[in-house]
Amino acid sequence: MDVYEAIKGRSTIYKFKPTEVPKEKLERILEAGTWAPNRFLTEPWRFWVFTGEGRSLLSRILVEIEKDGMENPDSEENRKRIAKRAQQPFNAPAAIIVGCEVSEKDRVNPIEEVAAVNACVQNMLLAAHAEGLAGFWGTGNYVYHPLFKEFLGLKEKDRVIGVIYIGYPARSKTERSRTHFSKFTKWIDEDKNTTLGLINI
């Protein structure tokens, strides 16, 4: 698949067929993630892959996080919220948690580590598209909850970047549009006294 075709053809899908995703495809997706650029070659990405009944474990921690802070988890409204969260891992055949383990080296900037893992996620989503699969990058308050980090054994300085839900799409991918890059771009092709931001140089 042409790289430009993959970039423009990939789209976020929320509904999947129950068909199991072959392990070989998931392995290729994971490997694609590890080819993302990362300064000092720290390779900060970490993966946890939940499939089959393994998704029950993910479901239980999501329920614990959802309940945290609720004054009355047994209210009708909260029971619905909890049930929806409990079902979340089962909405796709595979769920991959992507974390960032920040290097202990002093010269490493944690922001750059997170940026590297963000690039890793993009690689994974493009690889899933190339494999005939679909996915979405799940984030939200539950991803950043301390219990989630504890569940994964991550340290205080580490980060959870999100959960990638992957499967065969249950509907056709929709056409997408983007604002043309020219709206966000300045071309500088001459050495002139120019104000790029607020500073004249």
Q: What is the CATH number of the domain that holds 176?
A: 3.40.109.10
45 marked as binding residue: no
Residue 25 domain-assigned (yes or no): yes
137 marked as binding residue: yes
Q: Which domain holds residue 138?
A: 3-184
Would the CA dihedral through 113, 89, 177, 124 be positive or negative?
positive
pLDDT category at 147 given cuts 50, 70, 90 is very high
Instruction: Take residue 178 and report the two structure tokens written for it.
Output: 């983007």
Average pLDDT, the chain: 93
Residue 147 domain-assigned (yes or no): yes
The whole-number pLDDT of residue 74 equals 94
Q: For the segment 86-124, what is each residue's pLDDT rounded down to a tens digit? A: 999 999 999 999 999 999 999 999 999 999 999 999 999
Domain count, the chain: 1
Residue 197 domain-assigned (yes or no): no
Question: What is the spatial distance between Cα 129 and Cα 25, in angstroms, rounded to a whole number?
Answer: 11
12 marked as binding residue: yes
DSSP state, residue 20 = P
138 marked as binding residue: yes
Task: Tally DSSP H helices, then E strands, for the chain.
Answer: 6, 4
Residue 198 domain-assigned (yes or no): no
Residue 138 domain-assigned (yes or no): yes
Q: For the segment 2-40, what is each residue's pLDDT rounded down to a tens digit? A: 899 888 989 999 999 999 999 999 999 999 999 999 999
